[in-house]
């Protein structure tokens, strides 16, 4: 199943409670405030793969768990977000054009 991309949406802004959200991936949807760059689409597609392999629900449980773990160790909201293994993988690999074709399953575990 291919992701369904929705651009120019108000949803990311409405969800920006703890941190400022530009785009959000809620399998199988990728929703963004405006037109996404190729790199941002790749970043969100990496989250689609992570969610697919964690049956969506375990991705969200782990996502919140890793964020709270960062917060508990004294990180700011933004630092705790950047420290989440799913974000580490997505930010580091979003500029790699071939990444989605070559990515190993559960590659996010390399960033824990
Ligand atoms: Zn992300």
What is the percent of the chain with per-residue pLDDT over 70, rounded to a whole number? 100
Please give the average per-residue pLDDT across 65-89, as a whole number. 96
CB hemisphere CA count around 86 (13 angstroms): 25
CA of 44 to the centre of ligand 1 (A): 6
Helix (H), strand (E) at residue 32:
strand 29-32
CA of 69 to the centre of ligand 1 (A): 17
* Count of Cβ atoms closer than 10 Å to residue 86 Cβ: 21
Average pLDDT, the chain: 95
Confidence at 1, pLDDT banded by 50, 70, 90: confident
Q: Residue 50: CB partners within 8 Å, gap ≥ 6?
A: 59, 86, 89, 90, 108
pLDDT score, position 18: 82
CA of 94 to the centre of ligand 1 (A): 10
Tokens representing 82 are 């950047």
Confidence at 79, pLDDT banded by 50, 70, 90: very high
């Amino acid at each position: 199943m291919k992701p369904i991309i929705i651009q120019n949406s108000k949803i990311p802004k409405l969800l920006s409670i703890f941190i400022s959200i530009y785009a959000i991936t809620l399998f199988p949807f990728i929703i963004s405030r405006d037109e996404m760059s190729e790199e941002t689409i790749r970043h969100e597609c990496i989250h689609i793969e992570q969610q697919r392999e964690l049956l969506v629900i375990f991705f969200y449980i782990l996502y919140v768990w890793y964020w709270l773990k960062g917060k508990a160790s004294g990180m700011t909201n933004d630092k705790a977000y950047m420290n989440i293994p799913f974000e580490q993988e997505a930010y580091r690999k979003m500029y790699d054009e071939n990444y989605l074709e070559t990515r190993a399953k559960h590659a996010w575990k390399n960033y824990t």
